[in-house]
Chains A and B, each alone.
Chain A
């Protein structure tokens, strides 16, 4: 069975400081993992994905995530937060053959000026 746990429901950072959004997963086989961002009144946008290639994945807008099998983690990071990064972020694991996506509960990122 597949599942995702996002460890923080809310994260607040100051503009220009690093961002860390934590995600742990459970999967009965080699997973594919994703991070999506949801801005108000907009569709979910793919930030990055891990599909068993390089463990350090670079995404859009300066975000990156590292797949750590030993820790079953896929944390999302960004060196310097921007005001426009304020949004809801979802960690997602795919089911077998990508048939289904299993979403974490989401982390709301607040960026203070």
Chain B
């Protein structure tokens, strides 16, 4: 149980185009989803937190107009990188949690990540 998927696993796009990454909770309802960015040989950096049906909360320094996050349902959140540039190339990871989990209501379940390369 508690599986989170991401699609695509890898994407290459040209500079100036937009790319959408999907994050799905497969067997539970995700009340909150998180988007992280992982730089090579570095840690995960939280980009934003999104609750179903409401606007995402972005971390300081993250451009909300560049990284559009939508959490339209309890099982799907999307991250759209708009007007991508080579410096946006990175590994993007989503996670999901549900407060309906009685054993540990705040555990985060992580997706496998999406490798974005902007040429």
Which residues of A line the B interface, CB within 8 A?
9, 36, 41-46, 49, 51, 90, 94, 97-106
Contact = CB atoms under 8 A, between A and B. Distances in A.
Contacts of B104: 49, 51
A44 B9 contact: no
A42 B113 CA distance: 8
Interface string B38-79: 000111111001000000000000000000000000000000
Contacts of B113: 43
Interface in B90-119: 93, 95, 104, 106-113
A102 B108 CA distance: 12
A100 B48 CA distance: 10
B106 A100 contact: no
A14 to B, nearest CB: 24
A99 B108 CA distance: 10
A44 B110 contact: yes
A97 B106 CA distance: 9
Contact of A103 (B41, B43, B112): B43
Nearest to B6: A43
Contact of B9 (A36, A41, A106): A41
Contacts of A103: 36, 43-45
A13 B85 CA distance: 40
B107 A49 contact: yes
B114 to A, nearest CB: 11
A20 B104 CA distance: 27
A101 B110 CA distance: 12
B81 interface: no
